[in-house]
Structure 1
Amino acid sequence: MDGLANELEALNRASSVRRLLDSASIPDRPGYILRGNRALLDLCSNDYLGLARHSAIAEAMRDSLLTEGAGAGASRYVTGNFPSYGLLEKALAEWQNREAALVFANGYMANVGVIGALASRGDVVFSDRFNHASIVDGIAISRTEHARYRHNDMEHLRFLLNKYRDKRRKLIVTDAVFSMDGDRARLTELVALKMEYGAMLMVDEAHSGGIYGQRGEGLGHELGLENDVDIHMGTFSKSFGVYGAYVCGSNTLIRWLVNKARPLMYSTALPPSVVAGIAKSLELVRTEHWRRERLSAASRVFRSSLIEAGFNVGSDDTPIVPLLVGDNDRALRFSIALEEEGIAAVAIRPPTVPAGTARIRFTLSASHTVNELKEAAARIRGIGLRLGVSDSCNGS
Structure 2
Amino acid sequence: MDLFDKIKKAEYLQEARIAIDQGIYPFFLPLEETEGTEVIINGRRLIMLGSNNYLGLTTHPKVKEAAIKAIKEYGTSCTGSRFMNGTLKLHKELEEKLAEFLHKEAALVFSTGYQTNLGTISALIGKGDIAITDKEDHASIIDGCRLSQGEMRRFKHNDMEDLEKVLASCPDNAGKLVIVDGVFSMAGDIAPLPEIVKLCEKYGARLMVDDAHSIGVLGDHGRGTANHFGLEDKVDIIMGTFSKSFASLGGFIAGDEEVIFYIQHTARSFIFSASMSPANTAAALAALEVMQEEPERIDHLWKIANRMREGLKSLGFDIGNSCTPIIPIYIRDRWKTIYMWKELFDLGVYCNPVLPPGVPPNQSLLRTSYMATHTEEQIDRALEIFEKAGKKVGII
Q: Which residue of 2 aligns with 1:12?
A: 16
Q: Which residue of 1 aligns with 2:250?
A: 244
Q: Which residue of 2 aligns with 1:379?
A: 385
Q: Work out whether residues 125 and 170 of structure 1, in 8 Å CA contact, stay in contact via their aligned partners in 2.
A: yes
> Which string of whole-angstrom CA distances, capped at 9 and with x for unpartnered residues, describes residues 30-66 of structure 1?
4001101011100001000000111211111111111
Letter aligned with residue 63 of structure 1: K
Query: Structure 1 residue 280 and structure 2 residue 286: aligned?
Result: yes
- TM-score, length of structure 1 as denominator length: 0.95
Q: Work out whether residues 241 and 281 of structure 1, in 8 Å CA contact, stay in contact via their aligned partners in 2.
A: yes
Distance of 1:54 and 1:12 partners within structure 2: 37
| SS of equivalent residue, structure 1 residue 172 | strand
| TM-aligned CA deviation for residue 314 of structure 1 | 2.4
Letter aligned with residue 291 of structure 1: R
Is the alpha carbon distance of 1:18 and 1:43 closer, same or farther for their aligned partners in structure 2, counting shifts above 3 Å? closer
Q: Work out whether residues 111 and 135 of structure 1, in 8 Å CA contact, stay in contact via their aligned partners in 2.
A: yes
| SS of equivalent residue, structure 2 residue 153 | strand
Q: Which residue of 1 aligns with 2:167?
A: 161
Query: Structure 1 residue 347 and structure 2 residue 381: aligned?
Result: no
Is the alpha carbon distance of 1:14 and 1:321 closer, same or farther for their aligned partners in structure 2, counting shifts above 3 Å? farther
Distance of 1:335 and 1:359 partners within structure 2: 10
| TM-aligned CA deviation for residue 316 of structure 1 | 3.4
| SS of equivalent residue, structure 1 residue 284 | helix
- TM-score, length of structure 2 as denominator length: 0.95
> Which string of whole-angstrom CA distances, capped at 9 and with x for unpartnered residues, describes residues 126-183 of structure 1?
1000000000000011132111000000000100101004242100000001001001
> Which string of whole-angstrom CA distances, capped at 9 and with x for unpartnered residues, describes residues 279-333 of structure 1?
1111001221111000000011001001000111124320000000011100001
Map residues 76-87 of structure 1 onto 2, 5 A cutoff.
Answer: 76-87=82-93
Map residues 152-301 of structure 1 onto 2, 5 A cutoff.
Answer: 152-301=158-307
Structure 1 vs Structure 2 CA RMSD: 1.6
Q: Which residue of 1 aligns with 2:122?
A: 116
1:305 equivalent among 302, 307, 311? 311
Q: Work out whether residues 247 and 283 of structure 2, in 8 Å CA contact, stay in contact via their aligned partners in 1.
A: no
Query: Structure 1 residue 93 and structure 2 residue 96: aligned?
Result: no
1:62 equivalent among 63, 68, 72? 68
Q: Which residue of 2 aligns with 1:394?
A: none
Distance of 2:188 and 2:296 partners within structure 1: 22
Give the stretch that moved more between structures: 12-21 or 97-106. 12-21
> Which string of whole-angstrom CA distances, capped at 9 and with x for unpartnered residues, describes residues 78-99 of structure 1?
0111111111111111101111
Map residues 31-50 of structure 1 onto 2, 5 A cutoff.
Answer: 31-50=37-56
Give the stretch that moved more between structures: 99-108 or 376-385. 376-385
Q: Work out whether residues 74 and 269 of structure 1, in 8 Å CA contact, stay in contact via their aligned partners in 2.
A: yes
Q: Work out whether residues 124 and 167 of structure 1, in 8 Å CA contact, stay in contact via their aligned partners in 2.
A: no
Distance of 1:165 and 1:52 partners within structure 2: 47
Q: Which residue of 1 aligns with 2:29?
A: 21
| TM-aligned CA deviation for residue 13 of structure 1 | 7.6
Distance of 1:56 and 1:127 partners within structure 2: 38
Distance of 1:299 and 1:336 partners within structure 2: 23
Is the alpha carbon distance of 1:205 and 1:62 closer, same or farther for their aligned partners in structure 2, counting shifts above 3 Å? same
2:141 equivalent among 130, 135, 145? 135
| TM-aligned CA deviation for residue 273 of structure 1 | 1.9
Q: Which runs of 4+ in 1 moved over 4 A?
A: 13-18
Q: Work out whether residues 26 and 353 of structure 2, in 8 Å CA contact, stay in contact via their aligned partners in 1.
A: no
- Structure 2, gaps ≥5 residues long: none
| TM-aligned CA deviation for residue 12 of structure 1 | 3.4
Residues matched between the structures, number: 388
Q: Work out whether residues 312 and 323 of structure 1, in 8 Å CA contact, stay in contact via their aligned partners in 2.
A: yes
Q: Work out whether residues 154 and 189 of structure 1, in 8 Å CA contact, stay in contact via their aligned partners in 2.
A: yes
Distance of 1:347 and 1:273 partners within structure 2: 31
Q: Which residue of 1 aligns with 2:342?
A: 336
| TM-aligned CA deviation for residue 341 of structure 1 | 0.6
Is the alpha carbon distance of 1:244 and 1:13 closer, same or farther for their aligned partners in structure 2, counting shifts above 3 Å? closer
Letter aligned with residue 116 of structure 1: S
| SS of equivalent residue, structure 2 residue 179 | strand
